[in-house]
């Protein structure tokens, strides 16, 4: 059975990183953007990282510019923004595509393990759904990720056990992470 440990990604300097390096850790894998309404998620993500990293927890940050061009800039510029504005210390990888023919295989796998089930209820979520559908129409059946700050949680064996849309309450995300630790 395939797990996240079967994938190799690029760090922000362009070097290959085998995710098997994270064996035995609980992972939260996130596609991010620096110019998104959900960019403030970096704050609770970093707080969670500081609280849980010594217990075998890692956040893997993958910037993507596929959602209304909300992650402009180079990998270094994105990293500088995140470290200066939010004090992020968790690993940040090279900017990738998460949808379409050029989607990173890791994200295609994550989404196949835990498909999109909706943003939730309420006017805000309905508006995001409408905007996401317009944005992702160009990716057809390869619109794996619906918006920035989609989070995938894996157990210590590398199995994908949960998907959290950007509209999910960050306390719910934290509780799910804590339950795996």
Task: Return the active site residues.
Answer: 36
136, two tokens: 């992702």
Buried residues in 13-26 as b, exposed as e (16+ CB within 10 A): eeeebebeebeebb
Nearest to 125, CA basis, from 166, 162, 164 = 166
Residue 110 has phi, psi (to 5 degrees) of -55, -45
Q: Do the strands 57-63 and 160-164 form a parallel or antiparallel pair, or are they unpaired?
A: unpaired
d(CA 16, CA 5): 13
């Amino acid at each position: 059975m395939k797990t996240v440990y079967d994938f190799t990604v690029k760090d922000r300097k362009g070097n290959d990183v085998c995710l098997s390096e994270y064996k035995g850790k609980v992972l939260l894998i996130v596609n991010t953007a620096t110019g998104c309404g959900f960019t403030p998620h970096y704050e609770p993500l970093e707080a969670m990282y500081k609280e849980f990293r010594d217990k075998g927890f890692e956040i893997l940050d993958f910037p993507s510019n596929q959602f209304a061009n909300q992650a402009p800039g180079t990998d270094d510029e994105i990293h500088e923004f995140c470290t200066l504005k939010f004090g992020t210390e968790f690993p940040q990888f090279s900017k990738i595509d998460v949808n379409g023919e050029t989607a990173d295989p890791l994200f295609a796998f994550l989404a196949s393990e835990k498909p999109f089930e909706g943003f939730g209820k309420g006017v805000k979520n309905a508006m995001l759904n409408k905007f996401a559908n317009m944005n992702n129409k160009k990716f057809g059946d390869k619109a794996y990720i619906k918006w920035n700050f989609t989070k995938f949680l894996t157990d210590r064996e590398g199995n994908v056990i949960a998907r959290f849309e950007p509209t999910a309450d960050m306390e719910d995300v934290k509780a799910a992470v804590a339950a795996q630790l």
